[in-house]
Amino acid sequence: MLHIKKILVLFTLIILAVSMTFGQVRFGVQSGIGLSNLIYKVPLDDPFEPIMVFHGGVILEFGAMEGLAFGTGLLLTGKGGQQTMNFDLYNENFKYQSYYLEMPAKIILHGRGVYGAAGPYAAYGFFGKERYQLNPSTDEMDMVEKSRKLKFGNDYTDDFTPFEYGMLLEFGYESPTGIRILLQYQNGFSDMLPSKFRHDVGISKVHNYTLGLSVGYLFNYAKL
């Protein structure tokens, strides 16, 4: 929880600093769904597949000039992936779904119904679940289902590192009343596996990627 408090303090300081630089400040909400996956640098024999995730939170925009703005926000974002391993008598499915507190820093170009944005993001993972399922192909075995909480940290016993960073792209439609419908793409740059675990087990680097659909609304919308 200490890291989350630090993120909230940093977010507040960024808002104050940017609001003193730019004139017009706009506030809104944004949420949506998407497909997320874990991509390994060295391909696995049984590669991960995408899972359905969601995101939602508050957004802030600071106008610089007509058609140009700086955008940030604080969003709860789901990420992860699933892996299925097939054997003669059964298959195993491992599903990892984690949740991050995410803060983007994007440059926005918009006008005449068109919206586009790009920039980096930073995120902190603080909870999630691994779901395991064994599906037998014979009556001699029983189905097995269980789950556990994911651990975030940099030790050997942890599942994922807590901090993540990457690049995001957004493109879509913006109405005259402040409603937005967007396609989003996120590509993580940071290695999500604790280094000690990765070196000892011999697994390659892994990062997140997400492709989603999002709807946003600015309450105090006004054209720049």
Is 147 within a domain? Answer: yes
pLDDT tens for each residue of 68-99: 888 999 999 999 999 998 888 889 999 999 99
Q: Note the pTM of the prediction, 2 decimals.
A: 0.83
Domain count, the chain: 1
Is pLDDT above 50 for 182?
Answer: yes
Is 179 within a domain? Answer: yes
Is 186 within a domain? Answer: yes
Is pLDDT above 60 for 43?
Answer: yes
Which residue range(s) make up the domain with 197?
2-218
Long-range contacts of 171-175 (CB under 8 A, 24+ apart): 171/115, 171/116, 171/117, 172/115, 172/214, 173/113, 173/114, 173/115, 174/110, 174/113, 174/114, 174/115, 175/113
Is 10 within a domain? Answer: yes
Is 223 within a domain? Answer: no
- Domain CATH code at residue 165: 2.40.160.20
Is 198 within a domain? Answer: yes
